[in-house]
Structure 1
Amino acid sequence: MAVVTVDFDGTLFQGNSFKVMFEAAQKDFNLKQWAVVGAGVIKAVVSGILKGKNAFRISFFKAFAKSFKGKSETEMDEFFRKLVDIGREDIHQGLVQKIHEHQEQGDEIIVLSGALHPFLKAFTREVNLQVHIISTKLQYDQNGICTGEIGTVINGDEKVKEVKNWVAAESDLVEKTEVWAYADSLSDYPLFQFANHPIVVNPDDAMKKLAEKHNWPIFKSA
Structure 2
Amino acid sequence: MNERIIAVFDFDGTLTVGASSRLLFLRQLVGLPRLVGGLLSRFFNGGLPGKPVGNADYLDHLFLKGITKHELEQQAVVFLKQVLLKKLRKEAIDRLHFHQQQGHTCIVVSGGWDIYLKPWAEEYAIQQLICTELEFDPIHHKSTGQMLNNYCIGSEKLKRFKKLYANRNEYILYAYGDSHQDLELLNYADYPFYKCFQ
On whether the aligned pair clears a TM of 0.5, the verdict is: yes
Distance in 2 of aligned mates of 1:65 and 1:119: 17
Distance in 2 of aligned mates of 1:195 and 1:110: 13
> Which one of the candidate residues 133, 140, 159 is aligned to 1:137?
133
For structure 1, list consecutive stretches of 5 or more residues without a partner in the other structure: 202-217
State how many pairs are aligned. Answer: 190
Residue 71 of structure 1 aligns with an amino acid whose one-letter code is I
**Structure 1 residues 178 and 145, CA gap change in structure 2 (3 angstroms):** same
- Please report the TM-score for the alignment, with normalisation by the length of structure 1: 0.73
CA-based RMSD of the aligned residues comes to 2.7
Match of 2:187 in 1: 193
Between Structure 1 and Structure 2, which shows a larger proportion of helix residues? 1
**Structure 1 residues 167 and 129, CA gap change in structure 2 (3 angstroms):** same
For structure 2, list consecutive stretches of 5 or more residues without a partner in the other structure: none
Match of 1:108 in 2: 105
Quote how far apart the aligned CAs of 1:119 are: 2.0
Higher relative contact order (CA 8 A, sep 6+): 2
Residue 6 of structure 1 aligns with an amino acid whose one-letter code is F
Task: Check the 8 A contact 1:5/1:179 in 2, yes or no.
Answer: yes
**Structure 1 residues 71 and 19, CA gap change in structure 2 (3 angstroms):** closer
Residue 85 of structure 2 aligns with an amino acid whose one-letter code is R
- Please report the TM-score for the alignment, with normalisation by the length of structure 2: 0.81
**Structure 1 residues 97 and 39, CA gap change in structure 2 (3 angstroms):** closer
Distance in 1 of aligned mates of 2:54 and 2:41: 13
Distance in 1 of aligned mates of 2:37 and 2:188: 37
Alpha-carbon displacement from aligned partner over 1:113-148 (angstroms, at most 9, x marks no partner):
11111121133344x333311111110122332211
Secondary structure of 1:47's partner? coil
**Structure 1 residues 195 and 154, CA gap change in structure 2 (3 angstroms):** same
Residue 165 of structure 2 aligns with an amino acid whose one-letter code is V
> Which one of the candidate residues 166, 171, 186 is aligned to 2:164?
166
**Structure 1 residues 12 and 66, CA gap change in structure 2 (3 angstroms):** same
**Structure 1 residues 90 and 57, CA gap change in structure 2 (3 angstroms):** farther
